Structure 1
Amino acid sequence: MGAHDPRAGKPVIRGNNRAPMKSKSHYPLDTAFELFFSVKKAEGMRERTLADYQSHWRYFRDWLSESYDNITLGEITQTVLREYLIYMSNGRTKYDGVDNRRLEGETLSPTTVAIRLRTLKTMFNFWAKEQMIDINPILNLKPPKKDDDEIGAFTDEQLRLLLSMPDTRSYAGYRDKVLMMLLADTGLRINEALRLTTEHIDVKGRCVHLPAAMNKNRKPRIVPISSEVMRHVFDLVNENKAYFDTHHIFVSNYGEPLKADHFRKRLQQYGAKAGIEDQVRVSPHTFRHYFCKMYLLNGGDIFTLQRIVGHADIATTRKYIQMDDESVRIQHAQYTPLSRLGMSKIIKRR
């Protein structure tokens, strides 16, 4: 999603025809959010999380402004929140109002809706604990169900095509290819990869040491790297030293740390050039899906995978056990017990 997500057109349900239920608490919305935000900032929440709080609140606040006149915190009921949930799921246009990103007829994915609802739950739980609202309206509100096949990953052929697109004769092209290889080889999140410096790389141990501050769950972790990918990372570091005064691994043509949005745009260009943009979502996170899926398909155990990718909940890792029909056929052919018995030799036809 872009940083700015203004709405256009009419919301699903207008509030002019009926007013929400009144409450004893009449805290102004912005005052309530400012208190919540200042407390979370004082608690040491990550900058990325704080930024999500701000953007998710802005989306909700914009919708409220058009749907209800002068609504206060205590007047937000479960009905109001459910209307917003319906609006996000069905009543909006994806990237509406964002320059060059308007997609007609597309709504937010169930995952995005669930993330924004989770943010609102954090806020309303805080306000309820602070006794700023009489009743917590979000307690029994559930996110939309996700499709079983929602997790998309590259196929091996799609990844090969994508990796062949960058022009490695240029610095930017070689850097992009190394970054793609690293993401596919380790399952790192894009922000984790882009924050890597030379001090995080253990060449002899062939791994990355991620400190707690760089991890989503605030726990340090060690991420192994294959020898081939480590060699390319080492070569990129040496090239950086020759031209830039930086300790970052992935930098722009001017030596500044590479931005995630810039890489996403270049990745989409590679996907279009490879002709796979209509087959799979070409994004940095799809490399993470690819790594997780292929790790399990190749015989890796789920608990080791959880540690490598830094999932706080094993339930998140279990989602990658869901396989498509082709993957099931491949696994069956490889592991069926009869294949070890050599049935074609045992059964002889007359």
Structure 2
Amino acid sequence: MRRRNELTEEEMKIIKKTISDDEAFDLFFRDCYLRNLRPATIEYYKNEFHAAKKFISIPLVECEQKGIEELILQSKKVMKITTINTRLRALRAFYNYLNKNKLIEKNPMKNIKLLRDRQKTIETLDNKEIEALIRVLRKKKTFIGFRDEVVLLVFLDTGVRLSELIGIEVDDVRDNKIIIRKTKNLFERIVYLSDTTQEQLKRYLMIRGYVETNKLFINRDNKELKPHSIQTSFSKYGKEAKISKRVSPHTFRHTMAKRMIMAGVDAFSLMTILGHSDMTITKRYVNLWGPDIEQKHKQYGALKGLKL
């Protein structure tokens, strides 16, 4: 029997130079290290790739657009839209790298868009809730309680991220400002402290004293403070203060942003203070506080004062 002239898809796969998932991962993460991506970003990629393989039955390097679409459909049954989009961003970075370096013929993410999701109002704390948190901390009369009061003041004064706060060293504190070195976008920036925070920080440094680590905030064993410890503690303080909202470092960052906006700070200055890479997220902050915008409209609306 005479052979067909054209090769089948299976035969073409044998001829084609292929790369395994492990080889692709090695190359991708090597590139991540060369670009000096944050360890947290690299860990995020690793976790998302591992999770994606549970939904895709073939090697990721062999996946086509239909495979990604099937992943989305299956994921929607068990995940929130934000979680799916987080996974899609990781896969997009992976396939873009492979396609750019000609390690795969087609990019399965080329025509895949992030899923539309409703923009939720970001929760922030009001004056009474902040004061209730401070009261809970002051009742403790412990080193940890006072340390966390200062941590709260720094969060609310500067809007720093949790990872940035953990990275602050004693030498980074300069009178009314702190140099933030461990930033998300690798650009150092300066944040400023109110008189209240300055005074409490000075008292904290006196009580802290000299310890082996140069990190500003330490635990009861005089060791470097861990992010999880701060998150867990403030969640517990929120419950003690009978605050129904989520109490977390991210909530403090949003609260700071809102208070600055309502005080009249311009978006560009806020972007610089918060360390945003572009104006996109800052604009979202400006547009999010519905009830406050409504109040401003009532106060300053164009028709106010007209006798019509």
Name the counterpart of 1:192.
Answer: 164
Looking at structure 2, the residues matched to 335 and 25 of structure 1 have their Cα atoms a distance apart, in angstroms, of: 67
Looking at structure 1, the residues matched to 55 and 133 of structure 2 have their Cα atoms a distance apart, in angstroms, of: 39
One-letter amino acid of the counterpart of residue 181, structure 1:
L
Please state how far the C-alpha of 1:153 moved relative to its aligned partner: 2.1
One-letter amino acid of the counterpart of residue 103, structure 2:
M
Name the counterpart of 1:272.
Answer: 239
Q: Does 1:119 align with 2:90?
A: yes
Q: TM-score normalised to the size of structure 2?
A: 0.86
Q: Does 1:314 align with 2:279?
A: yes
Looking at structure 2, the residues matched to 264 and 286 of structure 1 have their Cα atoms a distance apart, in angstroms, of: 11
CA RMSD of aligned residues (A): 2.4
Name the counterpart of 2:178.
Answer: 208
Q: Is the 8 A contact 1:311 1:317 kept in 2?
A: yes
Q: Is the 8 A contact 1:25 1:74 kept in 2?
A: no
Please state how far the C-alpha of 1:157 moved relative to its aligned partner: 2.7
Cα distance 1:150–1:77, how it changes in 2: closer, same or farther (>3 A)?
farther
Q: Is the 8 A contact 1:165 1:273 kept in 2?
A: yes
Residue among 50, 60, 68 paired with 1:73: 60
One-letter amino acid of the counterpart of residue 36, structure 2:
G
Name the counterpart of 1:332.
Answer: 297
Looking at structure 2, the residues matched to 252 and 317 of structure 1 have their Cα atoms a distance apart, in angstroms, of: 33
One-letter amino acid of the counterpart of residue 179, structure 2:
H
Name the counterpart of 2:127.
Answer: 156
Name the counterpart of 1:283.
Answer: 248
Cα distance 1:180–1:141, how it changes in 2: closer, same or farther (>3 A)?
same
Percent identical: 26
Please state how far the C-alpha of 1:40 moved relative to its aligned partner: 1.4
**Superposed CA offset, 1:187-230 (max 9, x none):** 10001011111111111xx111123xx12112121111111112
Cα distance 1:148–1:108, how it changes in 2: closer, same or farther (>3 A)?
closer
- Segments of structure 1 that go 5 or more residues without pairing to the other structure are 1-21, 93-106
Cα distance 1:264–1:31, how it changes in 2: closer, same or farther (>3 A)?
same
Aligned length: 294
Please state how far the C-alpha of 1:168 moved relative to its aligned partner: 4.4
Looking at structure 2, the residues matched to 155 and 109 of structure 1 have their Cα atoms a distance apart, in angstroms, of: 29
Looking at structure 2, the residues matched to 228 and 72 of structure 1 have their Cα atoms a distance apart, in angstroms, of: 57
Looking at structure 1, the residues matched to 302 and 289 of structure 2 have their Cα atoms a distance apart, in angstroms, of: 21
Partner secondary structure for residue 232 of structure 1? helix
Looking at structure 1, the residues matched to 93 and 199 of structure 2 have their Cα atoms a distance apart, in angstroms, of: 43
Q: Is the 8 A contact 2:55 2:71 kept in 1?
A: yes
Q: Is the 8 A contact 2:81 2:115 kept in 1?
A: no
Looking at structure 2, the residues matched to 179 and 162 of structure 1 have their Cα atoms a distance apart, in angstroms, of: 12
Please state how far the C-alpha of 1:271 moved relative to its aligned partner: 1.7
Cα distance 1:123–1:267, how it changes in 2: closer, same or farther (>3 A)?
same
Structure 2 counterparts to residues 1-350 of structure 1, below 5 A: 24=16, 26-64=18-56, 68=57, 71-88=58-75, 90-92=76-78, 107-108=79-80, 110=82, 112-166=83-137, 167-203=139-175, 206-211=176-181, 214-241=182-209, 244-276=211-243, 279-336=244-301
Partner secondary structure for residue 136 of structure 2? coil
Q: Is the 8 A contact 2:213 2:222 kept in 1?
A: yes
Please state how far the C-alpha of 1:334 moved relative to its aligned partner: 4.7
One-letter amino acid of the counterpart of residue 312, structure 1:
S
- Segments of structure 2 that go 5 or more residues without pairing to the other structure are 1-11
One-letter amino acid of the counterpart of residue 235, structure 2:
Q
One-letter amino acid of the counterpart of residue 127, structure 1:
L
One-letter amino acid of the counterpart of residue 303, structure 1:
F
Please state how far the C-alpha of 1:235 moved relative to its aligned partner: 1.4
One-letter amino acid of the counterpart of residue 283, structure 1:
S
Cα distance 1:109–1:190, how it changes in 2: closer, same or farther (>3 A)?
farther
Cα distance 1:84–1:315, how it changes in 2: closer, same or farther (>3 A)?
same
Cα distance 1:79–1:275, how it changes in 2: closer, same or farther (>3 A)?
farther
Please state how far the C-alpha of 1:109 moved relative to its aligned partner: 5.2
Please state how far the C-alpha of 1:163 moved relative to its aligned partner: 2.8
One-letter amino acid of the counterpart of residue 251, structure 1:
I
Looking at structure 2, the residues matched to 47 and 273 of structure 1 have their Cα atoms a distance apart, in angstroms, of: 34
Structure showing greater radius of gyration is 2
